[in-house]
């Protein structure tokens, strides 16, 4: 089921993102959104906060292993 909302644009070009969308996409005060023009309209995408990215590549190795590799590379140069 496709959900739609009608929102009003203020004279300063601002609008409010409906609470349902903010909850679904975890959009909070201070978050940044990427605004992109697409074929059929405008696309808003949340830019993840740095703290939300913690552990994103954990499947590729653990922190200590990565630190050892970095130190090894430093010693080689």
Q: Which domain holds residue 49?
A: 19-76
List the end-to-end C-alpha distance of the chain, in Å, as a whole number.
57
Is 10 part of a structural domain of the chain?
Answer: no
Question: Per the structure block, which two tokens stand in for 47?
Answer: 């830019």
pLDDT of residue 56: 67
pLDDT of residue 27: 95
Per-residue pLDDT of the chain (77 residues; tens, 9 = 90+): 788 999 999 999 999 999 999 999 999 999 999 999 999 999 999 988 776 666 666 677 777 887 888 889 898 88
pLDDT of residue 2: 80
Is 4 part of a structural domain of the chain?
Answer: no
Indicate the number of domains in the chain. 1
Contact 56, 48 (CB under 8 A): no
CA distance 44 to 20: 15
Is 3 part of a structural domain of the chain?
Answer: no
Is 7 part of a structural domain of the chain?
Answer: no
Contact 71, 59 (CB under 8 A): no
Is 2 part of a structural domain of the chain?
Answer: no
pTM of the model: 0.61
């Amino acid at each position: 089921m496709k959900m739609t909302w009608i929102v009003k644009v203020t004279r300063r070009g601002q609008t409010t993102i409906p609470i349902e969308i903010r909850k679904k996409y975890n959009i909070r005060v201070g978050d940044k959104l990427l605004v992109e023009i697409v074929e059929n309209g405008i696309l808003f995408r949340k830019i993840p906060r740095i703290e939300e990215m913690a552990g994103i590549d954990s499947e590729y190795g653990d922190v200590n292993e990565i630190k050892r590799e970095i130190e090894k590379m430093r010693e080689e140069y």
